[in-house]
Chains A and B, each alone.
Chain A
Amino acid sequence: MRMYSKKDMLWIGAVAALFAALPLLLPRIGSSIPVGTEIMIWGIFATGYNILLGGTGILSFGHAAFFGLSGYATGLLLVRTGMPLPAVIPLAVAASLVAAFLIGALIIRKRGIYFAMLTIAFGQMFYFIASQWNSLTGGLDGLTGFKRTDFLGLDLRPEDRFYYFVLGFFVLTLLLVRGLMNSSIGKTLVAIRENIDRSEFLGIDVKKYQHFAFVVSGTFAGMAGSLYVLLLNFAFPELFYWKTSGDAVLMSVIGGMHAFFGPLLGAGVFVFLRDMISTLTPHWALPLGAVFVTFVLFFQKGILGFFERGKNG
């Protein structure tokens, strides 16, 4: 079996090309390059997260834990050790991987909303650690005192340079996730989503696969978190907040969690809408919340699901 079909490569290539050209377009429509960077970062988060939600059928409301953990690890490593970025990013992402493995091992046996509640609670645990361990994390004020510098000699300080740096991770994520979902492991995950009992009868170690999906999605959340903190040169407790987890879930659902590019589209719509509405009114949360409610009520399959009914991503 080939890892990618021609169609996959064509689509991923097209998306990569679109994002490569975006920095030329963004300033002309009253937006800015960091908005594009942010869309890609949330795209990484949501696309990885959707391995769990859309792919395996498990709802986690706590992936902000891994997003924030890696973000703080990135900031702390830069502040405390002065390590170079090529070492910092992998270490930070590894921290999320380990955390996802441990938390997953503790809770993966639970199902449904009980599982979702547990993930919220664990995410909040990290939130409180970050907001109260003042001496290490800077508490509620957040962690500052670091700036992204260079990556193997490539100066990342200008926003457009960093944009293309993130683009690399972004395309890598699309390729990795698409490859995973095309592989036999990915097919097994979907089988578990479709029918847990039948999968068990077939001899699949369901919990092991679910745990795997949890860890992989947590790791991508970590990658996004590290890049996000580098984008802002700032880490703050809200990275861990349950509402941040909720944002990732919403992105997947808005875009369409059963389409491969759904979460990415959702991330784009989310960041763009939030930015647009917040320039119009400080009370952007009111209309944004209403948009989400509308989506949940009337477009449960998301934007892509609405346009391509019946197909699986």
Chain B
Amino acid sequence: METSLLISQLFNGLNLGLLYVLMAMGLTIIMGTMGVVNFSHGILFTFGAYITYSVAARLGYWAALLIAPILVGGIGMVLERGLVQRVYGKDPLYSLLLTFGLAMSLEELVRIGWGTTGLPFSPPDSLNTFVDLKIMFYPLYRLVVFGFILLLILALWFFLERTTMGKIVRAGIQDSLMVGILGVNTKALFTLVFGLGAFLAGLAGVLSAPITGIMPTMGDNVVMPSFIVIILGGVGSFYGSVVGGLLLGIIVAMCNQFVPAVAELSMYLVMALVLLLRPRGLFGEEGLFE
């Protein structure tokens, strides 16, 4: 077996995994704080990619990279304030169905706005080359995405672990009722958390648009792996999302190369295996959703 092939697949896996991490982190903080399984997460990802397409056509990719996630974060906050907020504290069934119906409508909106067929999209010219890594040539764009997401995860870690706001978010994941009793404005907190999750989903959409192309159903392809990442890592766990996401990305990429028939299936098999051996996921804490 060629080493370079193995290593390039490993890189692809890490790339894919980091995108899963971005998606899963948003999902998991929303789930942990509000108890909402956000089915609209995939469509927010799709919005990120389509907004990128439209903005990049006028202002270039770099402007899109800045504008699209913020816009998607804003859309998320509007959805939260207008709709999702009304079902907090009710059976999780309702938030799940609400976001399910929402995703259904929004996906159709994408089809109406941008058409039903996929759109091609390439990386910005300055990054649309290959880098000589001695053992292989690797797309520069993917390397940049790689570094960018790593930095972002570090920033997120810093936010959650080292800032007061982040501490409040983490406390909210532990027990949002208690956080409210201690005088924090949980209504604003929830909007912020939902907006942050939407921002991350939008960003993941922007970054993956040049890799995968853009199509109305693209969100579906990442939202399921993200659910699995959460199951693997444990609900509400930052480290769980990171480790679970990277692990899943590598497994999928390796299977894609060597046993393509089971590439998609592999993640479900891993999930079943982890569930049998560690029912709470790799980093899951006792008590959450049991």
Residues of chain A whose beta carbon lies under 8 Å from any beta carbon of chain B: 53, 59, 61, 106-107, 109-114, 116-118, 120-122, 124-125, 128-129, 132-133, 242-243, 246, 249-250, 253, 283-293, 295-297, 300
Contacts and interface: CB of A to CB of B under 8 A. Distances in A.
B59 interface: no
Given A106-B276, A297-B98, A121 B271 contact: yes
Contact of A109 (B31, B261, B279): B279
Interface of B: 31, 35, 37, 39, 83, 86-87, 90-94, 96-98, 100-109, 111-112, 224, 227-228, 230-231, 235, 261-262, 264-265, 268-269, 271-272, 275-276, 279, 288-290
A246 B37 CA distance: 13
Contact of B93 (A111, A242, A253, A288): A253
B98 A296 contact: yes
Contacts of A122: 268, 272
Given A121-B227, A283-B108, A296-B87, A113 B268 contact: no
Contacts of A118: 231, 275
Nearest to B100: A246
18 contacts: A59-B93, A61-B96, A116-B96, A117-B227, A118-B275, A120-B227, A125-B269, A129-B265, A246-B100, A250-B97, A283-B112, A285-B107, A286-B112, A288-B105, A290-B101, A293-B98, A293-B101, A296-B101
B102 A117 contact: no
Given A253-B97, A292-B97, A112 B92 contact: yes
Contact of A59 (B92, B104, B262, B276): B92
A292 B228 contact: no
Majority SS of interface residues in chain B?
helix
A256 to B, nearest CB: 13
A246 B94 CA distance: 12
A132 B109 CA distance: 29
Contacts of B272: 106, 122
A286 B35 contact: no
Contacts of B289: 110-114
A289 B224 contact: no
Contacts of A285: 104-105, 107-108
Contact of A292 (B101, B224, B230): B101
Contacts of B111: 283
A207 B290 CA distance: 13
Given A121-B228, A293-B102, A113 B35 contact: yes
B290 A113 contact: no
Contact of B275 (A106, A283, A289): A106
Given A132-B261, A292-B97, A296-B98, A107 B275 contact: yes
A300 B108 contact: no
Nearest to B94: A296
A125 B272 CA distance: 10
B265 A125 contact: yes
A285 B109 CA distance: 9
Contact of A249 (B37, B86, B97, B228): B97
A120 B104 contact: no
A289 B101 contact: yes
Most buried by A among B93, B224, B227: B93
Contact of A113 (B37, B100, B276): B37
A293 B231 contact: no
Contact of A132 (B108, B264, B275): B264
Contacts of B102: 289, 293
Most buried by A among B37, B87, B100, B235: B100
A288 B97 contact: no
A78 to B, nearest CB: 25
A244 to B, nearest CB: 12
A250 B100 CA distance: 9
A286 B108 contact: yes
A116 B98 CA distance: 15
Q: Which 10 A-B pairs have the closest CB atoms?
A: A289-B105, A292-B101, A289-B104, A125-B268, A114-B289, A286-B108, A285-B108, A128-B264, A293-B101, A296-B98
A84 B63 CA distance: 63
Contacts of A61: 96
B218 to A, nearest CB: 15
Most buried by B among A59, A112, A114: A114
Contacts of B83: 293, 297
Contacts of B224: 120-121, 124, 242
B31 A113 contact: yes
Nearest to A133: B261
B58 to A, nearest CB: 26
Contacts of A289: 101-106, 108
Contacts of A295: 101
